[in-house]
Structure 1
Amino acid sequence: MFKKTQLVAAMMIFSTSVAVSQMKVRDEVPDKYKWNLSDLYASDDTWKAEKDRIQKKIQKTAQYKGKLTQSASTLLEALTLNSKLIKELVRLSSYASMKSDQDTRVTKYAGMKQEMQQLFSEFGALTSFMEPELLTLKEDQLNAFVTKEKGLQTYKFYLTDLLRKRAHRGSEEVEKVLAYSSLMSGNAENIFSTFFNAEFPHAEVELDGKLVKLNSANFNLYRGSENRDVRKTVFEAYFKKLNEFQRTFGAQLYGNINAGLFYTKAQNYNSTLESALDAGNVSTDVYNNLVKNVNTNLGTFHRYLNLRKRMMGVDTLHYYDMYAPLVQQVDLSYTVEEAIDNILKSLKPLGADYVSISNKAFSERWIDMYPNEGKRSGAYSNGSAYDVHPYILMNYNGKYTDMSTLTHELGHTMHSYLTNKKQEFANSDYSIFVAEVASTFNEELLIDYILKQIKDDKTRLAILGNYLEGAKGTLFRQTQFAEFEKMIHERVGKGEALTGEDFDSMYLELTKRYYGHDKNICVVDDYVKSEWSYIPHFYYNFYVYQYATSFTASTALSEKVLKGNDTDRKRYLDFLSAGSTKYPVELLADAGVDMNTAEPFDLTITKINKVIAEMEAILTRLGK
């Protein structure tokens, strides 16, 4: 009944660099830099015992079958039990998932994740009667129940939202089949994750006289090399290796699209896009307007690309130049301790309590900081365990981008922490649509703080350039991904079969348009066609557009907090504590930004152009 999306409300940052020289064996990493999962369960045996207990307890839900609408007290009992069970199931799942992410090669934890998938499916089947029964409630009956039983107020938003989606819910038998279908629907993503993270035969290249395996970590490191030949070699080898498995990646993604289409048709939606957005009552116009607005403003993106070309001093900009440092010989390295200090100081505009709680994440082992062999790549925050604290997975490598990623994930963590403290579990979830606001807001505060400390032109160029890199990666790149998703889902929705070759062709054409290939702004080499195949977000149907919308929302909100007063700060903190008590667009409106208008997007484009203008002025001043 209640979904816990905080587990996936996480930004996997593929620009996170992981040095070859970093600690590679987990046992060598000091404990203070590893998360403490014993806060969840003392041991694997404890987890197993708790799982067995919950597996028996979920059978109790059957006693409410046929009785949900008989009385307010019975309804409250059933919803309370259901909520408690989901809370425990999510906690179990969080432990298994994070244990597996420590080293994806360990089959024991992969097995525990599979056990949880089966248990969730079993629970879904056992409770499949609930929503069909609840859908027989009339609005006046629901209001009468809430008036009589005050405890139902906790569940009123959920119940009201359920009735709103009445047309997309089926009979008990249909809902039971849909619950059991979850055993299959996640297979494409699971196969992709296992294959790419644990078994993919990454290319090997010779760099500086040594053979380097281009796993995700090393690719992310070397694609940012100052040596252009290294970048070119790394990009070409990495993408060409991906292309060798084009058919496999294509079959996996096509399978995932079909799974989404199955639920779309089974639940009577017009499109997979409508189905995905309806969970948060977000209009498809928000999605389509984002794509339209970005395409209309590709000139701003091309202005950034021309700036990058100027700063790099190259005659022709190539796609493999996108991650190269913009400013040469500027030390933007930070130890973990330096990063923590900068982050905490940057968060002061949000108040002493916010800073104090943030510090707990660093001092009480909420974070798994460094890379190790087999560890999941990227970064995320997992705030799903309601009765515990959130956790952060990092692959910290000491660069400014790593510090920025760390405060990004801390934003997610604080969002989860504050919501969990303020709301009952039933309302502690929050839409992914608003999840990325808290994280990118933190990034805005960090860059504002750092710029106030730095007057040196070259260093300012580097920091301002980092902001533009964030805009490129979050607004333009994620919208490009969103447009690609829309294209492939629409084609499959029309009955077309797509192969890896089809995905290649569509992705390459789209990328060339975004990067101005035909206008000679940035050359997109043909091997870039394979980039789609290693992006995990395409398995989270219509997830990525929310990075872009959140980026525009956080830009608008951070301006209010930095330039405003205590009222603006309170509105923002109230937003972080609101959970799922309202629809996401309404929550953002309460915080001070209206996503149904073009204002947040326009403010963001204005800021991007302002940053570009300052950088162009600095370059002129430096004689470049």
Structure 2
Amino acid sequence: MKVRDEVPDKYKWNLEDIYKTDDVWKAEKERIQEAMQQMGKYKGKLTQSAATLLEALELNTSLAKEMTRLFSYASMKSDQDTRVTKYAGMKQELQQVFAQYSALTSYLEPELLASLDENKISQFVSQAKGLEVYQFYLKDLLRKRAHRGSEEVEKVMAYSSLMSGNASTIYSTFFNAEFPHPEIEIDGKAVRLNPANFALYRESKDRNVRKKVFETYFGKLHEFHRTFGAQLSGNINAALFATKARNYNSTLERALDADNIPTGVYHNLVKNVNDNLATFHRYLNLRRRMLGVDTLHYYDLYAPLVEQVDLSYTVEEAIEHVLKSLKPLGEDYIAVAKRAFNERWIDMYPNEGKRSGAYSNGSVYDVHPYILMNYNGKYNDVSTLTHELGHTMHSYLTNKKQHFANANYSIFVAEVASTFNEELLNDYMLKQIKDDRTRLAILGNYLEGAKGTLFRQTQFAEFELMIHDKAAKGEALTGEDFDKMYLELTRKYYGHDKNVCIVDDNVKSEWSYIPHFYYNFYVYQYATSFTASTALSEKVLKGSKSDLEKYLNFLSSGSTKYPVDLLKDAGVDMNTSEPFDLTIAKINKVIDEMERILTRLGK
């Protein structure tokens, strides 16, 4: 693990594209704080004319764009090294600015709701063409009328944001900057099990190392289960407050209503996956067979499936494979992807204090998207790289085509673009590789994706549903409660009682290091997107030019329609079971091929 200054600049993102220096950031923040006071002059006058409404919405959008840019800079600076308190402080400053601005504009939506109906919106759009950009927003606002309050209520809700994110902030700071990550000895060397090293060494070929890594890491997490429990419980309570204040029946309904997604989509996903756990168990039995163990344990789930094949790639090799795999998407798509690699849009390697995991940030509208990686040189890292590049291309294409007001696409569709790229990478690699053992490794990686994205994320989604329902009933939620619920659910998914995969007791602590539980019903979208991208990739790889055009149009549509409608335009109807059924069929097909190869190899 290097310190940041030891990483060559070409592997670090260039945040100077956003602001040249921290002083420039500070000056811009002060300018925005002064400029946002202008929003007050529209109070009571918003709907006097189409021109006035357009002027107010344009100013509101411009300020939101610049505040988002300010926050993105501070956030990414902080993520480079979470131990640097300066940037954590800058993030806090922006959170206060957002709260102040929300309070200042708390009149906006109540005033619009009091004065507008669909006829008046249409009339105003005809009088001021610039309002066409805001037509979807205005009509969606009318749809949510029952969940909006008076100006005073909206002001209270705005100021509540100063507290509502505290649990998540405390968790992130504690886990990334102050958590005492344990040390273990591996091959005679002391290794600190930070998140990046945990992800690396849980893939060890040595089963004893894997077992030791899981026991040590989860054991240390368990030492703080009371603290983690209080943090997560605080986050759920914040969601409950917003749910009751907004007149929703449940935290799930509130979370999904933002994108007009029926709660049935969520419940159907959980039901469909539970009904098809036999397919998941089939994969787990295949993994047991390939590892050559009598009994599969949870600490075996990340071990390389094919011991003789070392699927390791330098960053340069990874870039080459990713770019070649994207050929079905056309030269224009590839040209922009090359810019991401060549113009320092990506922060590639782990360093001391760096935020764990990976993400793409496309919110700096007037610049370009950024990618945070913690590249470790494995095939899974190559897959993660193309996954995040999918997000980046989605943001880039949307930002180029759409007004900022319509550029913030839903997470429900965001994960389609990323998992689609993973499908293309697997397809490309399989076409290049004829060696049985290497094919086993690539096919196995697809199944790993299915395990992690469809089954594991749905398990997380079901866990979220359970803990939110428990809190809604007024029941206590402590670290011990989370432990018990998580362990029981994990054992159900992995067939513990059927001896498919033994989920050891220490796995009960895994929930405490999953940051997505602070996002409130976020993870289910990984699973729904996985099924949607499976269906779409089949169309693009085997279909006509029009299928590709529809997909690229989807990537540049932003939030001009509801997510389910956007996917329908792209060629996938999420109101049917077809995407899920196609995905289960593909998983079984991959398992079939792997079993044939194993038989051919005499295993």
Instruction: State the Cα deviation string for residues 491-548 of structure 1 (Å, max 9, x = none).
Output: 1011111101000000000000000000000000111000000100000000000000
Is residue 212 of structure 2 the alignment partner of residue 233 of structure 1? yes
Question: In structure 1, what residue type is equivalent to 2:370?
Answer: Y
Is residue 287 of structure 2 the alignment partner of residue 308 of structure 1? yes
Instruction: State the Cα deviation string for residues 208-231 of structure 1 (Å, max 9, x = none).
Output: 222222111111111110000001
The one of 270, 275, 295 aligned to 2:249? 270
Is residue 380 of structure 2 the alignment partner of residue 406 of structure 1? no
SS at match of 1:206: strand
Instruction: State the Cα deviation string for residues 227-286 of structure 1 (Å, max 9, x = none).
Output: 000010110111111111111000000000000000000000000000000000000000
Cα separation, 2, equivalents of 1:410 and 1:490 = 35
Cα separation, 1, equivalents of 2:260 and 2:76 = 30
Cα separation, 1, equivalents of 2:323 and 2:238 = 43
Residues 119-138 of structure 1 mapped to structure 2, 5 A cutoff: 119-136=97-114, 137-138=116-117
Question: In structure 2, what residue type is equivalent to 1:100?
Answer: S
Counterpart in the other structure of 2:173: 194
Question: In structure 1, what residue type is equivalent to 2:82?
Answer: T
Cα separation, 2, equivalents of 1:307 and 1:514 = 16
Is residue 244 of structure 2 the alignment partner of residue 249 of structure 1? no
Cα separation, 1, equivalents of 2:396 and 2:484 = 43
Output the TM-score relative to the length of structure 2. 0.99
Counterpart in the other structure of 1:31: 9
Cα separation, 2, equivalents of 1:84 and 1:52 = 15
Is residue 520 of structure 2 the alignment partner of residue 541 of structure 1? yes
Q: Is the 8 A contact 2:33 2:97 kept in 1?
A: yes
Q: Which moved more, 1:144-153 or 1:448-457?
A: 144-153
Q: Which moved more, 1:236-245 or 1:473-482?
A: 236-245
Counterpart in the other structure of 1:473: 452
Question: In structure 2, what residue type is equivalent to 1:89?
Answer: M
Q: Is the 8 A contact 2:458 2:523 kept in 1?
A: yes
Q: Is the 8 A contact 2:181 2:220 kept in 1?
A: yes
Cα separation, 2, equivalents of 1:478 and 1:154 = 35
Per the TM alignment, residue 30 of structure 1 is displaced from its structure 2 partner at its CA by 1.2
Counterpart in the other structure of 1:100: 78
Residues 506-585 of structure 1 mapped to structure 2, 5 A cutoff: 506-585=485-564
Question: In structure 2, what residue type is equivalent to 1:36?
Answer: N
Per the TM alignment, residue 331 of structure 1 is displaced from its structure 2 partner at its CA by 2.5
Counterpart in the other structure of 1:422: 401
Instruction: State the Cα deviation string for residues 125-154 of structure 1 (Å, max 9, x = none).
Output: 000100000111122111111111111000
Is residue 314 of structure 2 the alignment partner of residue 340 of structure 1? no
Counterpart in the other structure of 2:590: 611
The one of 19, 36, 48 aligned to 2:26? 48
SS at match of 1:131: helix
Counterpart in the other structure of 1:462: 441
- Identity within the alignment, %: 79
Cα separation, 1, equivalents of 2:306 and 2:57 = 57
Cα separation, 2, equivalents of 1:216 and 1:381 = 18
Instruction: State the Cα deviation string for residues 401-420 of structure 1 (Å, max 9, x = none).
Output: 11110000000000000000
Counterpart in the other structure of 1:386: 365
Cα separation, 1, equivalents of 2:222 and 2:342 = 44
Task: Say which structure, 1 or 2, has more relative contact order (CA 8 Å, 6+ apart).
Answer: 1
Counterpart in the other structure of 1:109: 87
Counterpart in the other structure of 1:17: none
Output the TM-score relative to the length of structure 1. 0.96
Per the TM alignment, residue 28 of structure 1 is displaced from its structure 2 partner at its CA by 1.3
Q: Is the 8 A contact 2:215 2:506 kept in 1?
A: yes
SS at match of 1:597: coil
Q: Which runs of 4+ in 1 moved over 4 A?
A: none
SS at match of 1:330: coil
Question: In structure 2, what residue type is equivalent to 1:33?
Answer: Y
Matched residue count = 602
Counterpart in the other structure of 2:355: 376
SS at match of 2:184: strand
Cα separation, 1, equivalents of 2:237 and 2:373 = 32
The one of 445, 469, 481 aligned to 1:502? 481
Cα separation, 2, equivalents of 1:483 and 1:55 = 42
Over aligned residue pairs, what C-alpha RMSD do you find?
A: 0.6
Question: In structure 2, what residue type is equivalent to 1:191?
Answer: I
Instruction: State the Cα deviation string for residues 437-465 of structure 1 (Å, max 9, x = none).
Output: 00000000011001000000000000000
Q: Which moved more, 1:178-187 or 1:204-213?
A: 204-213
SS at match of 2:317: helix
Q: Is the 8 A contact 2:113 2:141 kept in 1?
A: yes
The one of 326, 329, 332 aligned to 1:350? 329
Counterpart in the other structure of 1:217: 196
Counterpart in the other structure of 2:35: 57
The one of 49, 57, 63 aligned to 1:79? 57
Unaligned runs of 5+ in 2: none
Counterpart in the other structure of 2:374: 395
Cα separation, 1, equivalents of 2:358 and 2:184 = 26
Unaligned runs of 5+ in 1: 1-19
Cα separation, 2, equivalents of 1:205 and 1:331 = 24
Cα separation, 2, equivalents of 1:556 and 1:217 = 32
The one of 123, 127, 134 aligned to 1:148? 127
Counterpart in the other structure of 2:470: 491
Per the TM alignment, residue 337 of structure 1 is displaced from its structure 2 partner at its CA by 1.0
Question: In structure 2, what residue type is equivalent to 1:28?
Answer: E
Q: Which moved more, 1:561-570 or 1:216-225?
A: 216-225
Q: Is the 8 A contact 2:102 2:159 kept in 1?
A: yes
Cα separation, 1, equivalents of 2:220 and 2:337 = 41
Question: In structure 2, what residue type is equivalent to 1:507?
Answer: Y
Cα separation, 1, equivalents of 2:48 and 2:118 = 15
Q: Is the 8 A contact 2:200 2:376 kept in 1?
A: no
Is residue 298 of structure 2 the alignment partner of residue 319 of structure 1? yes
Question: In structure 1, what residue type is equivalent to 2:76?
Answer: M
Instruction: State the Cα deviation string for residues 292-350 of structure 1 (Å, max 9, x = none).
Output: 00000000000000000000000000000000000012121111111111111111101
Counterpart in the other structure of 2:567: 588
SS at match of 1:135: helix
Question: In structure 2, what residue type is equivalent to 1:124?
Answer: S
Per the TM alignment, residue 563 of structure 1 is displaced from its structure 2 partner at its CA by 0.1
